[in-house]
Structure 1
Amino acid sequence: MFRRASWNWFSQLYIAFAGIVIIPVYIKHFGAEVYGLIAFMLTLQMLMSLLDVGFSASLSRETSRYRAQATDSLFFHSFLSIVLKVFLFAGVIIAAAIFFAASFLATQWLDVNMLDIEVVTYLLQVTAGIIFLRWLAIYFRSVIFGYEDIIWLAKFTTVVATLRFVAVVPLILYWEIDVEIYFYHQFAVQLFELTVLVFRKRKIIPPVANMKFIAVSDASFKAPIRFTLAAGGATILWLLISQADKFFASTFLSLADYGYFHVAVMAAGMITLITAPLVQVMQPRVTTLLATGNHDAAISIVKGLFDFMAVIALCTVLIVYVFGFSLLTAWYGEPGFAERTFNVFLVYSMATATLAVNSCSFIIDYASGKIRLRNYCSLVMLVTLLIAYPITFYYFSAMGAAFTWLIINIAYFIIAQPLLLAQHDKAVYSGVVRNTILPRMALCAALVLLFYAFDLPERLLDVAGRATIFLLAGFSWLILIVIFLLAKTEPRALLLNKISGFYERT
């Protein structure tokens, strides 16, 4: 499990770093407005995931059951056939909608100032093809992931990310390609990814010839359909919540400002990419423990996850507070870029850190199948954001949206988390707050005061060299994690036991 988790973690972090490091190249070569168009393409790809409605989760679950011989071959291959048809139908409909709506999006939705409207329309039509291929890739990825071919998938994901982000750098720097060639490149990479995934799925789960598939109306499909609908509701709500800010930003901000806003949000999203792989890996373990009646062990994992998430989240926010402006300056090479993005980056980092802590209760809700209350809470959250975002964007621009996202996540932790955790154990929330959150926040506040007293963020602006500032930030992040972990009795006791055991053996 550790090896799988490590590869999954590495691939996710690699994708994030590759996607973020390349942004200054995009902006400098293409301009802020073209990067805004690229960011809008990424937003459309995320919104396409709304059609998933739980199918990817169901595919992974049923594939895992098939691999464990908990379901028969006829049912499994019938299920795969039905879901593939759904993916194809939905993909064609939505891709066609984007293709024919491209002119409206270019002229009425996006605030385009310098780009040719006809070029923008054409590139949005190319985007429709990219989205269709990416949508189909979700189907094959879910099957491969459910088959627990996680290491191969992580390695292949790393290769695709290299082709998508890194391989485009020489094309930009040496051949000075225009934005149309960039979109063609993305289309080609997506086609390559889908082709390889198709062949990999066929290798691990060969198609069955001359099989008479079960109809979707069969009683055996009731359980997976119920699970799909429940998981789908949670997926749709979450994607609407997480993408609402970018959706409103694309029309309230100019295309150039939208590009800068997307950079800040994407950089802050690094926290999620650091923490999410651990939640993914813990999910099967908690599911197994609950299925075997080991409720106490499942609760223990959730408590430990809350503690770890709090440490990672708070340490990352501290690094953003101290090093953020210097990192943005070193990353892009100009102070003006940092001045336009740092404040939004900092507030979004705080909000994303809170979100990471909130995600800990998801694994036990999902494992136990108690998703209904979570969906109700998410629905309230979504309605609040849909009301608040237009107001805050209109009056306070990007900073208003950032504070809205922060406040709503804090409110979710204070109001929704105790209700969600009480479904499993009423004492969990109070214990987590008392023994984990408050002590960690107190230590964080003390460190902030210390940094402020020594005016550390300003002093770091004098540090010369990009490599130096990045290495210093990374080393400081690791030191902070050690400090936070050793602030509690259990990690100290574990460390002392390991040290004493080492000396006893020697």
Structure 2
Amino acid sequence: MSIKRNALANYVGQIYSTLAGILVVPMYIHQLGMEAYGLIGFFSILLTWLQLLDVGVSTTLLREAARYRANSEDNPYFPSLFASLGKFFLLTSVVLVVLGWIFTPYIAEHWLNAKTLPYRDLVIAVAVMVVTAAIRWRTGPFRSVIVGYEHQVWLNVLNVISITLRTFGAVFVISFAPNPVIFFFAFQLCISIAEAACCVYKSYQLVPRAKRQNHSAELKGVLKPFLRFAVGAAFSSAIWTFISQIDRLVLSKTLPLSTYGAFTVVATAATGIVMLSSPIMQAIVPRMTGMRGKKEQGEAETLTLYRYTTQAVSIFMAPLSITIALYSGQLIWAWTQNPQIVQQMSFVMTLYALGSGLQAICGLLYHLQYVNGRLSMHVKGFSLFAIVLIPMNIYAAIHYGALGTGIVWLGQNIFYLLVWAWIVHRKFAPTIHARWLTRDVAMIWLVSAGVALLTHLVPFEWDQNRWLNLLYLGLIGLVNLSVCCLLHTKVLEKIGKGLFKRTSLRSES
């Protein structure tokens, strides 16, 4: 499978997903109101926190699937391992739904600060959320197998279809529904069931029943190192979820649901920034895992690809996050046409945009450890960070609201880039850190910031027409992205070769 084709498919799918999520925000607010939109934000938080129950299995399963595809002889027990883990996910899904329904009345009455939504609607909506979240979480292992086998074009086609139905299809359904809130979440449940069925069918095609039923007597011996790695991945995932999402969870409790709806606009943009880096990770990580397993030149090839990937992520993240940060108020107005959200959240958007852009870069540090199959440093480091950052986020959310959590978010990601990256590279890539930080990250971000600042010299009347605003912001981002693309090593090599050929031809003539 081609990395370029998979990366392109992942980016098309992720960009479409992000744009769809952004475009439907004003439609949701118009159709449902700010309180109900805050309920959608709570649903997103629920989906994120439920990933903790994965206990690292999906992440580790992706790694094992990539290893099996690269060399099935070195990992012959993967199919039976996949079948055994399916039982674990089925059982925990049932337990999850039962527990969720037990706590649904408490969440509706005591957690969500709703002023206008009826209590009955809140209870039904939360109950349906729990079932939908359980199904989407249950689909995770099947998606991991599909990604590990590098069938990512197929997966992105499915994603585009399901996202279209989940977003624009939902807007169409609720526009005719007698109870828009209940119908919205019921429709999400139906789409999740269909999506899960497709993923199960595809993964079972890749890992046929005959192979899955070939249980080996030595499977218990295989499970031990698998579970050891999975526990490390699970613990690191749990810590990271607490560190990165505790602010949103606490704000969903402390803020009125309508104000939390306004914050959800910021959270949607911040999540979109980080998610735009995930497609290239989906394409690169399986390939890096396969490279690292080679006996000859494996480490050198892995580090070269790691640096190229860092440059690519910087090239996409810097123009996006810097443009949003500098034009946050104009973007929110053009996006929602809601002056209240602009007043409340414009500076918060700036903080979260910059922090999320840096987070996309720092996420590469985890993947470097992941492909080496050694997560102990990540677990120890983020255990220490959690001791400081979780109380700090809770305090900031309670006393300073979204502004306080935004400052903490930006500050912690600056620390990851300047300090944590040096610690990780000292162990896994000691020869590349200085070039990684200066050439692959800082240079691209400084050039992008310079281009974005120059655009302030262009006279433009904001807040007159939302579509002209969005068009101008899109042009700023596109110009910035084009300039940054010229800084990638592979692009510079092609330009250098082209100039060399022209110079040779002229000298010969």
* Distance in 2 separating the partners of 1:50 and 1:434: 35
1:188 Cα deviation after fit: 0.8
Match runs of 1:248-263 below 5 Å: 248-263=250-265
Q: Counterpart in 2 of 1:159? A: 161
Q: Counterpart in 1 of 2:473? A: 473
Pick aligned residue for 1:32 from 28, 31, 34: 34
* Distance in 2 separating the partners of 1:403 and 1:21: 27
Distance verdict in 2 for CA 1:403–1:460, change over 3 Å: farther
Q: Counterpart in 1 of 2:87? A: 85
Pick aligned residue for 2:116 from 114, 117, 139: 114
Match runs of 1:436-447 below 5 Å: 436-444=440-448, 446-447=450-451
- Tell me if 1:434 matches 2:435: no
Does the CA contact (< 8 Å) of 1:55 and 1:228 recur in 2?
yes
* Distance in 2 separating the partners of 1:235 and 1:63: 19
Relative to the length of structure 1, the TM-score reads 0.91
1:361 Cα deviation after fit: 2.3
Match runs of 1:406-421 below 5 Å: 406-421=410-425
One-letter code of the match for 1:411?
Answer: F
One-letter code of the match for 2:251?
Answer: A
- Tell me if 1:20 matches 2:47: no
Q: Counterpart in 2 of 1:320? A: 324
- Deviation digits for residues 98-130 of structure 1, max 9, x if unmatched? 111011111222212221222211211111211
* Distance in 1 separating the partners of 2:403 and 2:396: 8
- Deviation digits for residues 386-424 of structure 1, max 9, x if unmatched? 111221122211110011111111112222111101112
- Tell me if 1:461 matches 2:470: no
Pick aligned residue for 2:360 from 345, 356, 360: 356
Distance verdict in 2 for CA 1:15–1:210, change over 3 Å: closer
Aligned to 2:189, what secondary structure does the other structure show?
helix
* Distance in 1 separating the partners of 2:504 and 2:378: 50
One-letter code of the match for 1:270?
Answer: G
One-letter code of the match for 1:469?
Answer: N
* Distance in 1 separating the partners of 2:125 and 2:44: 13
* Distance in 1 separating the partners of 2:49 and 2:412: 21
* Distance in 1 separating the partners of 2:323 and 2:256: 30
* Distance in 1 separating the partners of 2:277 and 2:138: 26
Does the CA contact (< 8 Å) of 1:261 and 1:398 recur in 2?
yes
Distance verdict in 2 for CA 1:5–1:455, change over 3 Å: closer
1:322 Cα deviation after fit: 4.1
Pick aligned residue for 1:195 from 194, 197, 204: 197
One-letter code of the match for 1:20?
Answer: I
Q: Counterpart in 1 of 2:343? A: 339
Pick aligned residue for 2:292 from 290, 293, 315: 290
Distance verdict in 2 for CA 1:218–1:239, change over 3 Å: same
Does the CA contact (< 8 Å) of 1:112 and 1:254 recur in 2?
yes
Pick aligned residue for 2:377 from 360, 368, 373: 373
Aligned to 1:111, what secondary structure does the other structure show?
coil
Q: Counterpart in 2 of 1:484? A: 484
Aligned to 2:374, what secondary structure does the other structure show?
coil
Does the CA contact (< 8 Å) of 1:326 and 1:460 recur in 2?
no
* Distance in 2 separating the partners of 1:17 and 1:387: 33
* Distance in 2 separating the partners of 1:253 and 1:84: 39
Match runs of 1:200-211 below 5 Å: 200-208=202-210, 211=213
Pick aligned residue for 1:141 from 143, 146, 149: 143
Does the CA contact (< 8 Å) of 1:271 and 1:353 recur in 2?
yes
One-letter code of the match for 1:372?
Answer: S
1:82 Cα deviation after fit: 1.8
Match runs of 1:390-409 below 5 Å: 390-409=394-413
Does the CA contact (< 8 Å) of 1:286 and 1:363 recur in 2?
no
One-letter code of the match for 2:42?
Answer: F
One-letter code of the match for 1:471?
Answer: L
1:41 Cα deviation after fit: 1.4
Does the CA contact (< 8 Å) of 2:38 and 2:260 recur in 1?
yes
Does the CA contact (< 8 Å) of 1:9 and 1:274 recur in 2?
yes
Q: Counterpart in 2 of 1:274? A: 276
Q: Which runs of 5+ in 1 are unaligned?
A: none
Q: Counterpart in 1 of 2:100? A: 98
Does the CA contact (< 8 Å) of 1:54 and 1:228 recur in 2?
yes
- Deviation digits for residues 352-394 of structure 1, max 9, x if unmatched? 0111121222232111123111112222222222111221122
Q: Which runs of 5+ in 2 are unaligned?
A: none
Which segment is superposed worse, 220-229 or 347-356? Answer: 220-229
Q: Counterpart in 2 of 1:387? A: 391
Q: Give the alignment's Cα RMSD to 1 decimal.
A: 2.8
Aligned to 1:3, what secondary structure does the other structure show?
helix
Q: Counterpart in 1 of 2:11? A: 9
1:171 Cα deviation after fit: 2.0
Q: Counterpart in 1 of 2:311? A: 307
Does the CA contact (< 8 Å) of 1:268 and 1:346 recur in 2?
no
Does the CA contact (< 8 Å) of 1:322 and 1:451 recur in 2?
no
- Deviation digits for residues 190-239 of structure 1, max 9, x if unmatched? 11111222222333333239947347972232232222222222222222
Distance verdict in 2 for CA 1:176–1:104, change over 3 Å: closer
- Tell me if 1:425 matches 2:426: no
Relative to the length of structure 2, the TM-score reads 0.90
One-letter code of the match for 2:418?
Answer: I
Q: Counterpart in 2 of 1:125? A: 127
One-letter code of the match for 1:278?
Answer: I
Does the CA contact (< 8 Å) of 1:314 and 1:353 recur in 2?
yes
Aligned to 2:187, what secondary structure does the other structure show?
helix
1:347 Cα deviation after fit: 0.8
Distance verdict in 2 for CA 1:379–1:3, change over 3 Å: same
Does the CA contact (< 8 Å) of 1:269 and 1:349 recur in 2?
no
- Deviation digits for residues 68-118 of structure 1, max 9, x if unmatched? 452599833431222111111221222211111011111222212221222
One-letter code of the match for 1:314?
Answer: A
